[in-house]
């Protein structure tokens, strides 16, 4: 069963490594107007001040890059009053506006994630993959994140309620998750 922490518990997590889920990095570094941005930015600031080691992996970086470019695509469509039928994502991504957006996303990830976070990894085995091939509340990439967190005793910083029934330590501001305490 998961163990949950909220921002008031951060002081007790001193010297613990915190694994950031993609949704948190997006709230912090890719503002979209979500009500979660201030809460997770404050948690990020506390963790920095406390000098916790912050961790991500390839899966998370991939999700952040892909989602951030999609956010920029949606902004481009809205700003220019274009429908998805008239400009597919791939045409946007391959065009000059998309390439510019991708470059900005890469620069933000390089400056704010790659330079400030430790990168964890795991060589997934055939057995790991077979274990992931079961239907439950976690999507496939979340199963990889959970495996990395378990293997390294990382605390997962997430807003994703799908992790509610995982066997992880979770730092969150999501009241739905914190109800499970």
pLDDT tens, residue order, the chain (181 aa): 789 999 999 999 999 999 999 999 999 999 888 899 999 999 999 999 999 999 999 999 999 999 999 999 999 999 999 999 999 999 999 999 999 999 999 999 999 999 999 999 889 999 999 999 998 889 999 999 999 999 999 999 999 999 998 999 999 999 989 987 7
81's tokens: 């009053």
Alpha-carbon span 168 to 173, nearest angstrom: 16
The H or E element containing residue 147 is helix 140-152
What sign does the CA torsion over 174, 177, 180, 181 have? negative
The reported pLDDT for the residue numbered 27 is: 97
3-state secondary structure of 56: strand
Distance CA 140, CA 144 (A): 7
* Pairwise CA distance, residues 72 & 180, whole Å: 35
Do 105 and 68 contact (CB within 8 A), yes or no?
Answer: yes
Sheet holding 155-157, edge to edge: 3-5, 169-171, 155-157, 18-20, 54-57, 118-120
DSSP for 74-112, written as a single string: HHHHHHTT--TTTS-HHHHHHSHHHHHHHHHHHHHHIII
Among 59, 66, 47, 65, CA closest to 119: 59
For the whole model, what pTM was predicted?
A: 0.94
What per-residue confidence (pLDDT) applies to 23? 96
Coil/strand/helix, residue 22: helix
Tell which phi-psi region holds residue 77, choosing left (phi > 0), alpha (psi between -120 and 50) or beta: alpha
Residue ranges and CATH numbers for the domains of the chain are 3-178 (3.40.50.1010)
């Amino acid at each position: 069963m998961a163990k949950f922490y909220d921002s008031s518990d951060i002081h007790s997590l001193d010297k613990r490594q915190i694994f950031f889920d993609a949704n948190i990095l997006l709230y912090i570094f890719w503002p979209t107007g979500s009500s979660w941005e201030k809460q997770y930015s404050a948690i990020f600031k506390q963790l920095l001040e406390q000098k916790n080691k912050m961790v991500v992996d390839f899966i998370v970086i991939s999700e952040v890059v892909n989602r951030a470019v999609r956010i920029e695509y949606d902004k481009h469509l809205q700003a220019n009053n274009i429908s998805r039928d008239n400009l597919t994502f791939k045409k946007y991504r391959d065009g000059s506006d998309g390439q510019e957006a991708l470059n900005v996303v890469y620069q933000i990830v390089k400056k704010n994630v790659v330079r400030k976070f430790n990168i964890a990894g795991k060589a997934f085995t055939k057995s790991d993959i077979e274990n992931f091939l079961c239907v439950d509340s976690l999507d496939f990439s979340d199963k990889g994140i959970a495996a990395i967190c378990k293997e390294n005793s990382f605390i997962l910083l997430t807003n994703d309620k799908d992790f509610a029934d995982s066997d992880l330590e979770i730092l969150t501001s999501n009241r739905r998750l914190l109800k499970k305490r």
